[in-house]
Structure 1
Amino acid sequence: MKPPPTFLPARRGRVRISFSVLLRLADDDRFVLFDAPKRPGAFGPPGGVIKFFPPAARILDALGFQPERTGSPHHKLRADLRGTLPAGALRRFRTWFATGAYRETADECLRRELHEELAEVGVHHLDRIVPELEFTNVRTVQEGPQSVPGKHYRQLRGFDVRELAMTNHAARRLSRELIEVAEDEAYPGVLLAGFDDIAHGRLDRALIAPQSAFLAGPSRLAPDLPPLR
């Protein structure tokens, strides 16, 4: 019997898209990573998928956008810029996305995600300083469109990497306290990982999500970890 193929032929009909913002928070040569609930046992940078606002729904519907649904609570996925598009609509989608109209900015996305994630990792007391945070751009990485091993679609993804603008007390406090928490065993949802750990994909028992590599450079070092569904 012939073994099953490693790659499924990509259908030219649809392209999966996903656009995210990641926060780079460094302590010398180590980076703060948070527990990733969708990938149990794995840690990745704070941040997440950009959301669109209600006026964009008609635009995306006209492009044939179909949102992705996974095992996460539905309210957390609502209005995520993650789903599939007809391949022929990709250029128009990119044009719309580049305008920034009717969607979160990178900073808005990070503030919303931090509100959620700080509570998830047990440091909800820092939530009140999130509105004061400002961020600066580190790099933007775009992958694809390209075939995905084992999937019937091609994929286009964007990662906007930001870091705290250390211009006020809130930014300095968040940085200082998250680094302290990452070294405290009482907070298992936060850790510090160096580039060697990221390249290896593991720190002790914790898996390191591959997008963590974008904190240090523009290249991915490992394939994705599958999420819960």
Structure 2
Amino acid sequence: MSRTPVRISFRAVLRVRAGDRIGVAPGGCAPPGGVIEHFPPAESVLAGFGFVGDGGRGLSGVLPGGSLRRFLTWFGSGAYREAAEDCLRRVAGPAEFAHVRTVVDDVVAPGGRRVRRYEVCELVAGEADVAFASAAAVREAGYAFLVDR
């Protein structure tokens, strides 16, 4: 089993659109969202994988390379962790979200391997007014909008 560490980060991100613009976080180009958290019963499971978190209950940290496949299987099961939609409710407030797609960024760089997984969701809105109001709320929270071309 490979002990070479892999840096992981599993996040839920909210795709917010207002016309041809996409919402991004203050001071950067990341969309609004947060790190998906695990629940207390997962502590022993994650310890068995050798996972060392960055702090708190977020699924962001370092994992021995030989445990990555088992970690991904556990994550895929949904056991003892937030769903992406629940993560967004925790960081953005009560709303309905729909999962759009999953983006995985698996890179081997000079500093080591890095696996980032983004669960991309959109706000579920039945009327244009609700979507516009949510875009305004994102802007009021300090997020900016970039032109999506």
- 2:76 alignment partner in structure 1: 98
Measure the CA separation in 1 of the matches of 2:25 and 2:76. Answer: 29
Q: Are positions 1:147 and 2:108 aligned together?
A: yes
Higher relative contact order, chain-length normalized (CA < 8 Å, sep 6+): 2
Partner SS state of residue 41, structure 2? helix
Pick the structure with more helix per residue.
1
CA RMSD of aligned residues (A): 2.4
User: What is the aligned partner in structure 2 of residue 58 from structure 1?
Assistant: 44
Q: Which has the larger radius of gyration?
A: 1
Q: Going by fraction, where is strand more abundant, 1 or 2?
A: 2
1:80 pairs with 2:31: no
> Does the CA-based 8 Å contact 1:12-1:154 persist in structure 2?
no
Q: Flag the 1:84–1:48 CA change in 2: closer, same or farther, 3 A.
A: same
Whether the aligned pair in 1 keeps the contact of 2:9 and 2:61 (CA below 8 Å) is yes
Match of 2:118 among 125, 148, 159: 159
SS at match of 2:74: helix
Unaligned runs of 5+ in 2: none
- Unaligned segments of structure 1, at least 5 residues: 1-10, 36-40, 69-76, 115-129, 197-229
Whole-angstrom CA distance in 2 between matches of 1:24 and 1:17: 21
Structure 2 letter corresponding to 1:89: S
CA contact (8 A) 1:29 1:194 kept: yes
Deviation at 1:13, TM superposition (A): 1.1
Match of residue 195 from structure 1: 148
User: Under a length normalisation based on structure 1, what TM-score does the superposition of the two structures give?
Assistant: 0.59
Q: What's the CA shift string for 1:108-158, capped at 9, x where partnerless?
A: 1001111xxxxxxxxxxxxxxx32x111122111111x2124x1x211110
Q: Could you report, residue by residue, the CA deviation over 1:18-49 in whole angstroms, capped at 9, with x for unpaired residues?
A: 101110111121112231xxxxx324211011
Contact 2:18 2:132 in 1 (8 A): no
Q: Which amino acid aligns with 1:30?
A: R
The SS at the match of 2:25 is: strand
Superposed counterparts of 1:1-229, under 5 Å: 13-35=4-26, 41-68=27-54, 77-114=55-92, 130-131=93-94, 133-144=95-106, 146-149=107-110, 151=111, 153-167=112-126, 172-173=129-130, 175-180=131-136, 187=140, 189-196=142-149
* 1:12/1:64 CA distance change after superposition, 3 Å: closer
TM-score (norm 2): 0.87
CA contact (8 A) 1:14 1:154 kept: yes
Tell me the distance in 2 between the aligned counterparts of 1:54 and 1:172. 39
Listed one character per residue, the Cα deviations across residues 83-124 of structure 1 (whole Å, up to 9, x for unaligned) are 11111111111110000000000111001111xxxxxxxxxx
Question: Quick check: 2:23–2:145 contact (8 Å CA) kept in 1?
Answer: yes
Identity %, equivalent residues: 41
